[in-house]
Amino acid sequence: MAMPSTRSDHGGKPIRLTKREIEVLSLIAQGYSSKEAADQLYVSKRTVDFHLANIYDKLQVNNRVQAFRAATRLGLIPFEPTFSHTGGES
């Protein structure tokens, strides 16, 4: 089964994130820092930052929030809001 291609607004080329880029972006979207994401993935912080730079370039964004929004809008990652809270429900 072929994966649907997502076309960017610039140039019409399909945008494809690697499995690792999706993993990095998903952790960042959950609020992990680059160092925390690196620890979760057993890689260096530099490697996570490298993946983030590639993600920003592919999505033509400048920061984590823009990357998450663009990737969600394009269907590259699912939108799953996670609200962490301590204690009981309000």
pLDDT of residue 5: 46
Q: Would you kindly state where each structural domain of the chain is located, as residue ranges?
A: 15-73
pLDDT above 50: residue 3: no
What whole-number distance in Å separates Cα of residue 69 and Cα of residue 73? 6
Fold of the 15-73 domain:
Arc Repressor Mutant, subunit A (1.10.10)
Looking at residue 13, its pLDDT comes to 76
Nearest Cα residue to 32 out of 82, 76, 73, 77: 82
The pTM for the full model equals: 0.74
Encode pLDDT of 30-85 as tens digits.
999 999 999 999 999 999 999 999 999 999 999 999 999 999 999 988 776 555 54
Cβ neighbourhood burial of 51 (10 Å; 0-12, 13-18, 19+): buried
Residue 87 has pLDDT above 90, yes or no: no
On the question of pLDDT at 90 being above 80, the answer is no
